[in-house]
């Protein structure tokens, strides 16, 4: 099938039910998107599909045929993405960093849809798990972009 | 006063346990016996001890530093980065003395080798909140030696005496002429020089970077998906593997009922039996996983005549039954701390309070599932990419497994996607031996990834904690005697295979040697074996014992009608450091108020306080809670931490926040439940960890008292569960003696 990722078209030959996560990681060799749970519990695998936040570990690749998938690898090609990354650095958000690709993508999806979310909108959108509990810093970074 | 001083060198508190062994003795026997529990095979380290001067760890600059022509610096770190900020701290410490800007450093984990045994100059472990405090002087000296080498190279180049030169960040300056030579151009000559290693260190007053919140070096890569972890490793020609573990540790695969069908699935290379597991090797991990989960395996019970380095999991084991057994156990007590005459004082007490407190098994639940890559090379060597907190220990064991010499095994230590104690050498919780066996079997490199479910099945857990407390109060309600019996096992003796004929310090830490002036005390451990793999979890024994002791403290205070804050202050009279700390956290929170009280938003709230003395640091914590819609709400957590002095305040604060999140997660939610020999939870849906909407604002105050440097990564944990539980007990009007708090009914007491 044909897969659009980060503005590029890829021909892939996999079982149609293969999770998008593993197509991104194994067929395309882009490892910024992480496997954490495989059950849409943690959000480490968060990507954008047609601009909306999605958990790629439970997204069958066949369901994204014709859609535009955006991964962390393309985050800095987007003006909102650049702002989010800058805010992540300003706030020194990551610790182990493993969940942060997903956190950044969730923030970018939120801020592209709603450039100035309020506190409760941030809380509702930023639901990915972080075992290092960098939640205070994540919230501060999103708020920084929201208010900019 | 106490019998905690121990020669059993676990990966914790080594700075508090001086190692008075000769180098030869250390390398020859004790290291293997005590740290590893595995005999040290003959190898280069031992050979060095016998032949000529041994390498003095942290002195051979070229083993650590590559100064590139552009002046940037590559530092081989003795410690592994897993979120605690150690790469940045190492760059600050070395850069300070070398006079090189830490922002020009890139840092990687060093390979195994004697140069990197910088923990008190004797071993190498990333854990126990030890990295900076046990290597600080040595790593500074490394930077100072490097600076001296650069100065000497400049002196040689210019034909001037050393005294005519000074450094500025990244360059040597000839004072008289103002001529400058960049480190990048001096490095090739400098790195070949032999210079004195007893170079003087800077005065702290002259520090340019130590003590400052230097930005972390790994943040940009971790914010853009560029950081790579063990799970991301790719080597040419590798195959991918997935496993299905035996449902109970010790069981072995018998018949594979549908092996042919599974072997014929798309992408499958081969099906394998491993000790305690089955595996599928395939061209893609997703295919390997689907295939291995499709395998129908008949498991046979553990052969009782086989010796194993871990306990066999009984088919009838349940964590609830173990808790009952611990509560009722009355075996031989091993005294960890005896002060005064507890029996006599208890007999004369006006009031006696007794209570049993408990905390459950806890999983590490780090977000990166274990992954290991093994590649056997044509020259007979082995490359391993493996998450670990102790490269030399993994190297020695891998060599033993492969029948190689340690120097034939290259251990690569990628960034850790969280660790919290998960990646020590726990025999039943390792992916790399499986990866090695599979790579050997298929004749190609293999990357093995454990699914989240397989990780929950084989994690090595924080031990369950149960304590029977008894306190005697005088007529004024002040405690005069305290007795605590701790049944069970601690992680250090288990991991290091030390017999339980004396108390395991990690079973009683946080209960023994508390700073409160209670004149008669007896703290003891009653050994009861756990048929579960137990190991180190962030803040180790303190992580449950902080809850167990500091909540009973409040129960004792209530029984004597004492305010718990005032009683702590009173029992710390004369201890200036802790008095200041306690007052500081109260001040940070706007003044101590216990409650319950009604807040501005109409909610009923209460606050709890707790103290902890983990890893050489001192911590006081206050939490404010309310209950809304039958859920515990955390409003704020305030932490004052005194680690003596600090290298990077921003990293210290970040570590405290992170530790608070972990502590809160265990307080509210976490519990590993075993039934019928199996853990009930195999993923985060059944084992919830703290989600973002339950993280309160955390307020941190760092106090630099000037005391010897303490640890930073873990000490924020143990105060949180008791501070929260004490607040909730106050709010509800009854004591809560068991974690997690999600089990507690949240209705207020009728009284």
User: Where in chain A are the domains?
Assistant: 2-73, 74-147
Percent of chain A with pLDDT over 70: 100
Domain total for chain B? 3
The position carrying tokens 């760059």 is B91
Is the pLDDT at B22 greater than 90? The verdict is: no
**Interchain contact, A39 vs B221, CB within 8 Å:** no
What pLDDT, in 10s, does the model give residues B158-180?
Answer: 999 999 999 999 999 999 999 99
In a mutational test of the B interface, the residue from A13, A34, A131 whose CB has the highest number of chain B CBs within 10 Å is: A131
The model's confidence at residue B505, banded by pLDDT at 50, 70 and 90, is: very high
Please tell me the number of Cα atoms within 13 Å of B271 on its side-chain side: 23
Q: Give the mean pLDDT of B346-372.
A: 98
For B29-67, letters b (16+ CB in 10 Å) and e give ebbbbbbbbbebeebebbeebeeeebbebbbbbebbbeb
B424 with B522, same domain: the answer is: no
Cβ atoms within 10 A of the Cβ of B201, count? 13
∠ CA A87-A99-A36, nearest 5°, is 165
**Per-residue model confidence (pLDDT) at position B53:** 62
Question: Strands B479-488, B371-376: parallel, antiparallel or unpaired by DSSP?
Answer: unpaired
Is the pLDDT at B36 greater than 80? The verdict is: no
**Interchain contact, A29 vs B266, CB within 8 Å:** no
Question: Which residues in chain A touch residue B690, judged by CB atoms under 8 angstroms apart?
Answer: 133, 135
Question: Which residues in chain B touch residue A133, judged by CB atoms under 8 angstroms apart?
Answer: 657-658, 660-662, 664-665, 690, 695
A135 and B CB contact within 8 Å: yes
**Per-residue model confidence (pLDDT) at position A147:** 86
Q: Which of B417, B449, B481 is the last residue of a domain?
A: B449
**Per-residue model confidence (pLDDT) at position B691:** 98
**Interchain contact, B368 vs A133, CB within 8 Å:** no
Please tell me the number of Cα atoms within 13 Å of B415 on its side-chain side: 25
How close is the nearest chain A Cα to the Cα of B692, in Å?
A: 6
**Cβ contact A61:A98 at 8 Å:** no
Q: B167 has which bridge partners?
A: B172
In sequence order, the 6+-apart residues with CB closer than 8 A to the CB of B395 are B112, B406, B409, B411
Q: Which of A82-86, B51-55, B177-181, B307-311 comes out lowest in average pLDDT?
A: B51-55
**Interchain contact, B286 vs A38, CB within 8 Å:** no
B326 with B427, same domain: the answer is: no
Q: Is B316 inside any structural domain?
A: no
In chain B, the largest separation of any two C-alpha atoms, in whole Å, equals 88
Q: Is B209 inside any structural domain?
A: yes
Burial tier of B541 (Cβ tally within 10 Å: 0-12, 13-18, 19+) = buried
**Interchain contact, B225 vs A31, CB within 8 Å:** yes
**Per-residue model confidence (pLDDT) at position B52:** 52
Closest to A47 in 3D by CA, of A36, A57, A37: A57
In a mutational test of the B interface, the residue from A98, A105, A107, A126 whose CB has the highest number of chain B CBs within 10 Å is: A98
Q: What is the mean pLDDT of chain A?
A: 97
Percent of chain B with pLDDT over 70: 93
> How many CB pairs below 8 Å do chains A and B form together?
168
Tokens of B464: 């369950």
**Cβ contact B678:B246 at 8 Å:** no
Helix (H, G, I), strand (E, B) or coil at A140: helix
**What CATH number is associated with residue B684?**
3.30.365.10
A24 and B CB contact within 8 Å: no
**Cβ contact B336:B2 at 8 Å:** yes
**Per-residue model confidence (pLDDT) at position B330:** 87
Is the pLDDT at B14 greater than 60? The verdict is: no
The model's confidence at residue B8, banded by pLDDT at 50, 70 and 90, is: very low
**Interchain contact, B692 vs A26, CB within 8 Å:** no
What pLDDT, in 10s, does the model give residues B83-123?
Answer: 999 999 999 999 999 999 999 999 999 999 999 999 999 99
The model's confidence at residue B744, banded by pLDDT at 50, 70 and 90, is: confident
Is the pLDDT at B197 greater than 50? The verdict is: yes
The model's confidence at residue B45, banded by pLDDT at 50, 70 and 90, is: very low
Tokens of B311: 């306990």
A78 and B CB contact within 8 Å: no
Compute CA distances A14 → A28, A49, B243, B582, B746, whole Å: 12, 19, 21, 61, 51
**Interchain contact, A26 vs B286, CB within 8 Å:** yes
Helix orientation angle between B391-402 and B432-442, rounded to the nearest 10 degrees? 40
Host domain of residue B378 = 230-305+370-449
The full DSSP string for A24-37 is IIIIS---SS--S-
* φ, ψ for residue B495, nearest 5 deg: -65, -40
**Per-residue model confidence (pLDDT) at position B463:** 98
Cβ atoms within 10 A of the Cβ of B686, count? 12
The position carrying tokens 């108390």 is B503
B625 with B533, same domain: the answer is: yes
A130 and B CB contact within 8 Å: yes
Q: Give the mean pLDDT of A117-141.
A: 98
Tokens of B282: 């395939």
Is the pLDDT at B583 greater than 80? The verdict is: yes
ipTM, 2 decimals? Answer: 0.99
Q: Which of A22, A95, A131 sits opposite B284 (nearest CB)?
A: A22
Question: Which residues in chain B touch residue A39, judged by CB atoms under 8 angstroms apart?
Answer: 452, 683-685
Tokens of A21: 């996560």
B664 → chain A, closest CA residue: A133
B345 with B383, same domain: the answer is: no
Is the pLDDT at B182 greater than 60? The verdict is: yes
**Interchain contact, A26 vs B683, CB within 8 Å:** no
How close is the nearest chain A Cα to the Cα of B144, in Å?
A: 29
Task: Name residues 88-127 of chain A within 8 A of B (Cβ).
Answer: 88-89, 92-101, 104, 123, 126-127
**Interchain contact, A128 vs B84, CB within 8 Å:** no
**Per-residue model confidence (pLDDT) at position A148:** 78
Q: Which of B43-47, B269-273, B507-511 comes out lowest in average pLDDT?
A: B43-47
A99 → chain B, closest CA residue: B367
**Interchain contact, B661 vs A36, CB within 8 Å:** no
Percent of chain A with pLDDT over 90: 99
Tokens of B532: 């579960």
**Per-residue model confidence (pLDDT) at position B749:** 67
> Where does A1-134 have alpha helices with state H?
20-22, 79-90, 100-113, 119-125
∠ CA B248-B253-B254, nearest 5°, is 130
Q: Which of A41, A96, A135 sits opposite B685 (nearest CB)?
A: A41
**Interchain contact, B286 vs A136, CB within 8 Å:** no
**Cβ contact B296:B486 at 8 Å:** no
Shared fold status for A2-73 and A74-147: no
Q: B372 has which bridge partners?
A: B448
CATH architecture of A74-147: Orthogonal Bundle (1.10)
* φ, ψ for residue B734, nearest 5 deg: -150, 155
How close is the nearest chain B Cα to the Cα of A117, in Å?
A: 16
Compute CA distances B579 → B76, B582, B718, whole Å: 41, 5, 19
**Interchain contact, B691 vs A129, CB within 8 Å:** yes
As a whole number of angstroms, the distance between CA B121 and CA B197 comes to: 14
Which helix or strand (DSSP H or E) is residue B224 part of? Answer: none
Is the pLDDT at B43 greater than 90? The verdict is: no
**Interchain contact, A92 vs B219, CB within 8 Å:** yes
- Rounded to a whole number, what is the distance in angstroms from the first to the last CA of chain B? 42
B240 → chain A, closest CA residue: A26
Burial tier of B431 (Cβ tally within 10 Å: 0-12, 13-18, 19+) = buried
Q: Is B3 inside any structural domain?
A: no
Task: Give the distance from CA B59 to its chain's centroid.
Answer: 27
How close is the nearest chain A Cα to the Cα of B137, in Å?
A: 25
**Interchain contact, A94 vs B240, CB within 8 Å:** no
In sequence order, the 6+-apart residues with CB closer than 8 A to the CB of B259 are B271, B295
Tokens of B178: 């103002």
Tokens of B212: 């400052």
**Interchain contact, B415 vs A19, CB within 8 Å:** no
B684 → chain A, closest CA residue: A41
Q: Which of B216, B285, B367 sits opposite A92 (nearest CB)?
A: B216
Q: Which of B82, B664, B693 sits opposite A123 (nearest CB)?
A: B693
Which strands form A2-5's sheet, in the order they lie side by side? Answer: A8-11, A2-5, A68-70, A46-49, A52-55
Tokens of B53: 């001067």
**Interchain contact, B367 vs A133, CB within 8 Å:** no
As a whole number of angstroms, the distance between CA B325 and CA B331 comes to: 11
The model's confidence at residue B748, banded by pLDDT at 50, 70 and 90, is: confident
B473 with B491, same domain: the answer is: yes
Question: Strands B105-109, B73-77: parallel, antiparallel or unpaired by DSSP?
Answer: parallel
How close is the nearest chain B Cα to the Cα of A90, in Å?
A: 9
**Interchain contact, B223 vs A42, CB within 8 Å:** no
B724 with B634, same domain: the answer is: yes
**Interchain contact, A94 vs B697, CB within 8 Å:** no
**Per-residue model confidence (pLDDT) at position B331:** 87
A80 and B CB contact within 8 Å: no
As a whole number of angstroms, the distance between CA B507 and CA B527 comes to: 10
Q: Which of B266, B451, B657 sits opposite A133 (nearest CB)?
A: B657
Burial tier of B12 (Cβ tally within 10 Å: 0-12, 13-18, 19+) = buried
* φ, ψ for residue B116, nearest 5 deg: -100, 10
Question: Which residues in chain A touch residue B218, judged by CB atoms under 8 angstroms apart?
Answer: 94, 97
**Interchain contact, A89 vs B234, CB within 8 Å:** no
Cβ atoms within 10 A of the Cβ of B7, count? 12
Q: Give the mean pLDDT of B37-53.
A: 39
Is the pLDDT at B342 greater than 70? The verdict is: yes
**Cβ contact B60:B192 at 8 Å:** no
**Interchain contact, A96 vs B85, CB within 8 Å:** no
Q: Which of A26, A37, A94 sits opposite B683 (nearest CB)?
A: A37
Question: Which residues in chain B touch residue A87, judged by CB atoms under 8 angstroms apart?
Answer: none
Compute CA distances B110 → B64, B117, B384, B388, whole Å: 8, 11, 14, 12
As a whole number of angstroms, the distance between CA B433 and CA B41 comes to: 18
Q: What is the mean pLDDT of chain B?
A: 93
Question: Strands B409-412, B382-385: parallel, antiparallel or unpaired by DSSP?
Answer: parallel
As a whole number of angstroms, the distance between CA B647 and CA B251 comes to: 48
| Fold exhibited by the domain A2-73 | Ubiquitin-like (UB roll) (3.10.20)
Q: A60 has which bridge partners?
A: A19
**Per-residue model confidence (pLDDT) at position B2:** 35
B271 with B411, same domain: the answer is: yes
Compute CA distances B277 → B203, B241, B407, B424, whole Å: 56, 12, 29, 21
A35 and B CB contact within 8 Å: yes
What pLDDT, in 10s, does the model give residues A25-80?
Answer: 999 999 999 999 999 999 999 999 999 999 999 999 999 999 999 999 999 999 99
**Per-residue model confidence (pLDDT) at position A3:** 97
**Region of residue B629 (left: phi > 0; alpha: psi -120 to 50; beta: else):** left
Q: Which of A18, A44, A136 sits opposite B367 (nearest CB)?
A: A44
The model's confidence at residue B42, banded by pLDDT at 50, 70 and 90, is: very low
B326 with B192, same domain: the answer is: no
**Interchain contact, B449 vs A35, CB within 8 Å:** yes
Compute CA distances B515 → B306, B340, B550, B553, whole Å: 46, 15, 12, 12
Task: Give the distance from CA B104 to its chain's centroid.
Answer: 28
Q: Which of A35, A44, A76 sits opposite B224 (nearest CB)?
A: A76
As a whole number of angstroms, the distance between CA B621 and CA B610 comes to: 5
In sequence order, the 6+-apart residues with CB closer than 8 A to the CB of B407 are B43, B44
- Beta-strand ranges (E) seen in B68-163 are 73-77, 105-109
Question: Strands B520-527, B268-274: parallel, antiparallel or unpaired by DSSP?
Answer: unpaired
Is the pLDDT at B47 greater than 80? The verdict is: no
């Amino acid at each position: 099938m044909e897969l659009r990722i980060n503005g590029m078209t890829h021909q892939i030959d996999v079982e149609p039910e293969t999770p998008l996560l593993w197509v991104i990681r194994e067929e395309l060799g882009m490892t910024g998107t992480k496997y954490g749970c495989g059950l849409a519990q943690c959000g480490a695998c968060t990507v954008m599909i047609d601009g909306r936040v999605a958990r790629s570990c439970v997204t069958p690749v066949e369901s994204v045929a014709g859609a535009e998938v955006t991964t962390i690898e393309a985050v800095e090609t987007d003006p909102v993405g650049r702002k989010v990354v800058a805010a992540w650095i300003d706030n020194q958000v990551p610790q182990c960093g493993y969940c942060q690709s997903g956190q950044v993508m969730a923030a970018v999806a939120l801020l592209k849809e709603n450039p100035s979310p309020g506190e409760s909108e941030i809380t509702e959108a930023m639901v990915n798990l972080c075992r290092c509990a960098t939640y205070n810093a994540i919230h501060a970074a999103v708020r920084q972009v929201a208010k900019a | 006063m106490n019998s905690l001083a121990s020669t059993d060198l676990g990966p914790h508190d080594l700075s508090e346990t001086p190692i008075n062994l000769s180098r030869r003795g250390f390398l020859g026997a004790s290291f293997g016996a005590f740290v590893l529990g595995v005999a040290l095979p003959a190898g280069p380290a031992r050979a060095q001890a016998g032949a000529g001067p041994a390498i003095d760890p942290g002195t051979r600059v070229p083993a650590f530093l590559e100064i590139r022509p552009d002046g940037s610096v590559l530092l081989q770190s003795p410690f592994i980065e897993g979120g605690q900020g150690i790469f940045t701290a190492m760059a600050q410490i070395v850069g300070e003395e070398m006079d090189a800007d830490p922002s020009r450093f890139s840092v990687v984990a060093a390979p195994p080798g004697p140069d990197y045994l910088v923990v008190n100059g004797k071993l190498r472990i990333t854990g126990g909140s030890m990295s900076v405090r046990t290597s600080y002087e040595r790593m500074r000296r490394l930077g100072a030696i490097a600076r001296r080498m650069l100065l000497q190279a400049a002196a040689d180049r210019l034909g001037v005496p050393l005294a005519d030169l000074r450094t500025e960040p990244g360059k040597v300056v000839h004072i008289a002429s103002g001529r400058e030579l960049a480190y990048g151009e001096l490095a090739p000559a400098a790195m070949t020089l032999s210079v004195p290693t007893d170079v003087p260190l800077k005065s702290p007053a002259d520090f340019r970077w130590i003590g400052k919140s230097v930005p972390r070096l790994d943040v940009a890569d971790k914010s853009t998906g560029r950081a790579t972890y063990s799970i991301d490793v790719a080597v040419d020609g590798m195959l991918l593997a997935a496993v299905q573990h035996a449902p109970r540790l010790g069981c072995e695969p018998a018949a594979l009922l549908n092996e042919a069908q599974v072997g014929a699935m798309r992408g499958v290379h081969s099906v394998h039996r491993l000790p305690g597991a089955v595996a599928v090797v395939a061209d893609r991990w997703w295919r390997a996983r689907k295939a291995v989960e499709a395998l129908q395996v008949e498991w046979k019970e553990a052969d009782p005549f086989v010796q194993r380095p871990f306990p066999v999991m009984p088919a009838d084991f349940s964590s609830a039954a173990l808790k009952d057994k611990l509560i009722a156990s009355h075996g031989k007590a091993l005294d960890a701390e005896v002060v005064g005459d507890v029996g006599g004082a208890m007999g004369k007490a006006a009031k006696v309070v007794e209570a049993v407190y408990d905390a459950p098994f806890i999983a590490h639940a780090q977000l990166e599932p274990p992954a290991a890559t093994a590649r056997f090379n044509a020259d007979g060597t082995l490359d391993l990419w493996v998450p670990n907190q102790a490269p030399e220990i993994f190297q020695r064991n891998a060599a033993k497994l492969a029948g190689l010499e340690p120097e034939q095994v290259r251990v690569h230590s990628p960034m850790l996607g969280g660790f919290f104690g998960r990646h020590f050498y726990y025999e039943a919780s390792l992916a790399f031996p499986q990866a090695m066996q599979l790579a050997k079997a298929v004749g190609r490199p293999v990357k093995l990834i454990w699914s989240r479910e397989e990780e929950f099945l084989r994690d090595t857990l924080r031990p369950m904690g149960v304590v029977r407390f008894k306190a005697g109060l005088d007529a004024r309600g002040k405690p005069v005697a305290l007795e605590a019996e701790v049944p069970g096992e601690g992680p250090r003796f288990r991991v290091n295979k030390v017999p339980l004929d004396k108390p395991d310090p990690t079973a009683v830490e946080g209960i023994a040697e508390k700073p409160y002036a209670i004149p008669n005390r007896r703290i003891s451990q009653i050994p009861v074996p756990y048929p579960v793999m137990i190991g180190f979890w962030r803040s180790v024994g303190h992580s449950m014992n902080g809850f167990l002791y500091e909540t009973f403290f409040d129960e004792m205070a209530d029984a004597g009608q004492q305010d718990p804050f005032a009683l702590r202050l009173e029992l710390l009279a004369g201890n200036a450091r802790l008095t200041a700390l306690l007052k500081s956290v109260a001040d940070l929170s706007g003044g101590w108020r216990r409650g319950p009280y009604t807040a501005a938003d109409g909610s009923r709230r209460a606050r709890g306080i707790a103290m902890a003395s983990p890893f050489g640091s001192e911590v006081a914590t206050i939490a404010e809670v309310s209950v809304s819609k039958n859920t515990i709400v955390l409003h704020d957590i305030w932490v004052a931490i005194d680690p003596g002095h600090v290298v990077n305040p921003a990293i210290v604060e970040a570590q405290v926040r992170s530790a608070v999140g972990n502590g809160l997660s265990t307080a509210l939610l976490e519990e590993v439940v075993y039934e019928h020999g199996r853990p009930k939870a195999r993923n985060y849906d059944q084992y919830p960890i703290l989600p973002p909407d339950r993280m309160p604002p955390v307020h941190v105050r760092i106090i630099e008292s000037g005391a010897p440097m303490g640890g930073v990564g873990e000490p924020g944990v143990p105060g949180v569960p008791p501070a929260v539980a004490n607040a909730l007990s106050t709010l509800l009007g009854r004591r809560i003696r068991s974690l997690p708090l999600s089990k507690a009914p949240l209705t207020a007491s009728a009284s």
